Amino acid sequence: MVITILYYLLVATAAGLMVWNLLKSRKWQEEVLYVIVLIPFLLRLLRLK
């Protein structure tokens, strides 16, 4: 259970960093890339897959 909680905290942190980078980015190609990479992290946080 402790490992599971730590894992979800890691996923949330990584997702947060991706959103932060997205906001800071100036290139639209990078923004699209961040959003695509973010999707599986969101699905895992929401316990959908």
Partner 1 sequence: MIRKIVILSLGALLAALAGGSFHRSRHLREPVVLSSGVTQVKKLSAYFSKLKGTTNDANVYVLEGAEPGGGVLILGGSHPEEPATRLTAWILAEQSAVAKGKVFVVLSANRSGTTVTRPSGAYPPDFTIPTSWGGQKFRMGDRWSNPLDQWPDPEVYIHYPTRQNLAYVDIRNLNRCWPGRANGTLTERTTYALTELIRTEKIDLVIDLHEAELQYPVISTIVAHQKGQDLAAMASMVISGDEFKIGVDNSPPALRGLSHREIGDHTDAISLLFETPEPFLDATRGRTDAGLLLEGKDDFVVKAGQHGLLFEKIDEKGWPIDVRVGRHCSTILTVLDVWSEDHPDRAVTLRNVPRYAEVIAKGTGAFLRDPAKADPKSISYE
First and final CA of the chain: distance in angstroms?
18
Angle, CA of 28, 33 and 37, to the nearest 5°? 150
- Give the separation between CA 49 and CA 9, rounded to whole angstroms: 16
Shortest spacing between CB 10 and partner 1, in angstroms = 12
Q: Taking CB under 8 A as the rule, does residue 32 contact partner 1?
A: yes
Q: Taking CB under 8 A as the rule, does residue 31 contact partner 1?
A: yes
Q: Taking CB under 8 A as the rule, does residue 2 contact partner 1?
A: no
Residues contributing to the site for partner 1 (CB under 8 A): 3-4, 7, 22-23, 28, 31-32, 35-36, 38-39, 42-43, 46-49
